[in-house]
């Protein structure tokens, strides 16, 4: 018994004790650093994922072909018609304060308009679901409003709300309302019949059914509509600025084309695209936070 409990050489001698303690420390460090290493490896693999690498390489190749005027030769374009990426970058560097200010202005119009339009669309979906006979027609009206071109809405909204930020926010509101109304209505209507029967068996009223079943079921559809509206709102704001505005990317783009400052005009396009992508990513991140319980967010 005694020999079994003591006679490990490394446990008896001083050197052995030192080795044991060192090995224990090493073991503890390896245990504690294991998750960190795994996390670092996962992050590294994420960056080297073909889904990330291939689009980056495609983008770099596209810019190189553009910079070396391959597209100019293919489509018989001059430099003033399609400025080189280096000229666009130079225009952005020289006018960065103006461009940042105008990007913030346009983004504010887009966010305000999208929030109002999405809220109105959600309320319309609620009404259409709660009172199908009376509220169902509102979906048709919203779809008809969405079919009106922005260039036709812009002068009307300018007459109604003036030439300030209100008119562009109104244009974005009209542009984004339909996507939210239709998607949210679909989510509220497409509930599980068994879940609906269960709610009715518990004598749940209409408010409880909406609160615990229909609205929760509509959230994935709501975020789908928000992601659509994130990019549509930027388009609405910029097109609205083309007609009546003294600020914003659309206004600067219009003026740059008029005075043949094409690199500056393309800078507005690049910044509008970046702002639209960032806006979309923010909405996507919010989706992962608010509906992480949904099966679409578990992968």
What is 70-102 written as a DSSP string?
HHHHHHT--TTTS--HHHHHHHHHHTHHHHHHH
- Written as six digits, the tokens of 217 are 């079921």
pLDDT value of position 29: 52
The predicted model scores a pTM of: 0.76
Contact assessment for residue 90 and residue 262, using Cβ atoms and an 8 Å cutoff = no
* Predicted local distance difference test score (pLDDT) of residue 92: 93
CA 38 to chain centre: 29
Gap between the Cα atoms of 280 and 235, Å rounded: 13
- DSSP helix/strand/coil, 259: coil
Give the pair of three-digit tokens for residue 23: 């090995």
Residues of the chain predicted below pLDDT 70: 1-37, 39-48, 295-299
Question: What is the Rg, in whole angstroms, of the alpha carbon atoms belonging to the chain?
Answer: 29
CB of 237 closer than 8 Å to CB of 168: yes
State the Cα–Cα distance between residues 125 and 116, nearest whole angstrom. 14
pLDDT at residue 136, as a whole number: 73
């Amino acid at each position: 018994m005694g020999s079994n409990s003591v006679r490990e050489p490394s446990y008896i001698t001083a050197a052995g004790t030192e080795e044991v303690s060192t090995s224990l420390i090493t073991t503890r460090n390896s245990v504690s650093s294991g998750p960190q290493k795994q996390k670092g490896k996962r992050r590294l693999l994420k960056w080297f994922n073909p889904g990330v690498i291939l689009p980056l390489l495609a983008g770099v190749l596209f810019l190189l072909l553009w910079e070396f005027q391959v597209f100019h030769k293919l489509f018989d374009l001059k430099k003033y018609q399609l400025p080189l990426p280096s000229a666009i970058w130079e225009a952005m560097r020289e006018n960065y304060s103006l461009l940042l200010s105008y990007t913030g202005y346009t983004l504010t119009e887009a966010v305000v308009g999208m929030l109002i339009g999405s809220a109105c669309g959600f309320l319309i979906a609620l009404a259409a679901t709660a009172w199908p006979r009376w509220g169902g027609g509102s979906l048709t009206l919203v779809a008809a409003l969405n079919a009106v071109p922005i260039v036709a809405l812009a002068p009307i909204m300018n007459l109604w709300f003036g030439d300030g930020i209100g008119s562009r926010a109104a244009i974005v509101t009209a542009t984004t309302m339909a996507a939210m109304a239709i998607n949210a209505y679909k989510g509220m209507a497409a509930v599980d019949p068994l879940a609906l029967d269960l709610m009715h068996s518990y004598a749940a009223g209409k408010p409880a059914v909406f609160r615990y079943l229909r609205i929760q079921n509509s959230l994935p559809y709501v975020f789908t509509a928000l992601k659509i509206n994130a990019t549509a709102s930027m388009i609405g704001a910029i097109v609205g600025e083309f007609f009546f505005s003294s600020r914003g990317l659309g206004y600067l783009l219009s003026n740059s084309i008029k005075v043949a400052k094409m690199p500056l005009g393309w800078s507005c396009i690049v910044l509008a695209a970046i702002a639209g992508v960032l806006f979309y990513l923010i909405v996507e991140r919010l989706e992962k936070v608010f509906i992480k319980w949904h099966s679409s967010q578990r992968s």
